[in-house]
Amino acid sequence: MPELAEVELARRQWSPFHGNRIVGLETHPAARIYRDCPAPALRVLEGLSLQTSRSHGKRMLFTFAPELHLEIHLGMSGKLLVGLPDHALHKHDHLVLRTQQASLVFNDYRMFGRVMLHDRADPWADLPPQPQDSRFSLARVRKLLARYPNKPLKALLLDQNTCPGIGNWMADEICWRLGLHPGVPVSRVDPSPLRRTIRFVTFGALKHVTEKNAGASSSGFAPGSYVTQVPPKSWLFQHRWKKGGLCPKCRTPLARDTIATRTTAWCSSCQIFPST
């Protein structure tokens, strides 16, 4: 499921438990989730308290000490859940952090997700700027376009070293708002509207997807349940997966094909393929 806003929403599932001590920890050691970090290593978290957390793109970082962090990536199907203290493990619950008040659960049936331990002060120091960061500047966007001139626009948007946090639905939304076919080589893309649209969709996703939940999660926690708010009907998001979906601007039936290895929806009327 997760792109940057859904990842941020997942992180907030656990944030009510900042300050809580980990009194027990259970893993499913054979899971592919542990390909970067053997499951027994996570035992160092036992007895420590979850202090803070943050997200960057599709990554989440949970800090237990100034130089000890747990990083989680949700992959395609990962979820963070909050269960009761005695929560019984479900089939694809691969990691459970027990606190006195709740069980913090990482569940992922496809196991494209992963966990990592970091023992440095800032393991994320070298990550590229997120679209919502002021360092995601026009100069930076220009540089990226010049560096990968033949990449299809959609492939550039999906590249996590370029646009961290953007995934399949956000990439389609951005191409649609730009009026550009997702397959256009980026050398033909104007950097200024590109940056503006990436940021519009990013801030919009964060607003629509996480805003409603912010109030709900501050009241405590409701095991296993939270409201996911979604962008309005005026966004392509609401139409792109529906069979017979129409462009919300011009009502043309949406086209669908695989571009940059992913299923892509676009409007053949609004989105052009400029020749230069």
By the criterion CB under 7 A, which residues form the site for DNA? 1-3, 6, 32, 57-58, 73, 75-77, 91-92, 109-112, 147-152, 155, 158, 160, 167-169, 241, 260-263
17 vs 169 by CB, closer to DNA? 169
C-alpha closest to that of 107 among 118, 99, 96: 96
Phi and psi at residue 253, to the nearest 5° = -60, 135
User: How far is the first Cα of the chain from the last one, in angstroms, to the nearest whole number?
Assistant: 35
Nearer to DNA, 21 or 159 (CB): 159
CB of 147 to DNA, least distance (A): 4
Of residues 45 and 111, the one with the C-beta less far from DNA: 111
Quick one: 97 or 155, whose CB is closer to DNA? Answer: 155
- Shortest reach from residue 13's CB to DNA, in Å: 16
Residue 160 CB, nearest distance to DNA (Å)? Answer: 5
Q: Give the H/E segment covering residue 68.
A: strand 68-73
Q: Is the dihedral of CA 164, 168, 172, 177 positive or negative?
A: negative
Nearer to DNA, 32 or 207 (CB): 32
CB of 219 to DNA, least distance (A): 25
CB of 227 to DNA, least distance (A): 14
Q: Which of 208, 131, 137 is CA-nearest to residue 167?
A: 131
Q: Are 218 and 13 in contact (CB under 8 A)?
A: no
CB of 65 to DNA, least distance (A): 25
CB 83 within 8 A of CB 224: yes
Residue 71 and residue 7 in contact, taking contact as beta carbons nearer than 8 Å:
no
Quick one: 150 or 225, whose CB is closer to DNA? 150
Q: What is the residue type of 10?
A: A
Q: Phi and psi dihedrals of 191, rounded to 5?
A: -65, -35
d(CA 52, CA 233): 35
